[in-house]
């Protein structure tokens, strides 16, 4: 399991509906953002690479996905500084794999 619900559970203070709500928002928004990020990488659109990685970062952080958050931060920084597109292309598949793995686990673990 590469996610951890400690942050969400602390915020929820025992409210399981809140936990499910946060997870549902993650499942709705992050795949769309990830697809948009993939399109931005393909188009070599640094500005949108930066913006989309920046948007994904707090969502994966909330789920305790530290390695994934670090990858999103790397991509965000590379987009902002217009670093090597090759480096971004190397990092993006790793981010995508992590996110898809967590999506699959969350759907299974929470019957969503």
- Delimit the domains of the chain by residue range: 6-110
pLDDT band at 2 (very low <50, low <70, confident <90, very high): confident
Cα dihedral 41, 79, 32, 100 in deg (nearest 10): 80
Is the pLDDT at 75 greater than 90, yes or no? Answer: yes
Kind and range of the H or E run holding 71: helix 66-80
Look up the CATH superfamily of 6-110. Answer: HPT domain (1.20.120.160)
pLDDT, one tens digit per residue, over 23-54 is 999 999 999 999 999 999 999 999 999 999 99
């Amino acid at each position: 399991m590469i996610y951890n619900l400690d942050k969400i559970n602390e915020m929820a203070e025992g409210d399981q509906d809140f936990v499910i709500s946060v997870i549902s928002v993650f499942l709705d928004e992050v795949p769309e953002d990830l697809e948009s990020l993939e399109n931005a990488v393909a188009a070599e659109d640094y500005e949108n690479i930066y913006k989309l990685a920046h948007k994904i970062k707090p969502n994966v952080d909330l789920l305790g996905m530290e390695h994934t958050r670090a990858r999103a931060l790397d991509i965000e920084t590379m987009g902002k500084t217009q670093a090597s597109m090759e480096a971004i292309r190397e990092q993006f598949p790793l981010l995508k794999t992590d996110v898809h793995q967590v999506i699959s686990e969350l759907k299974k673990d929470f019957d969503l």
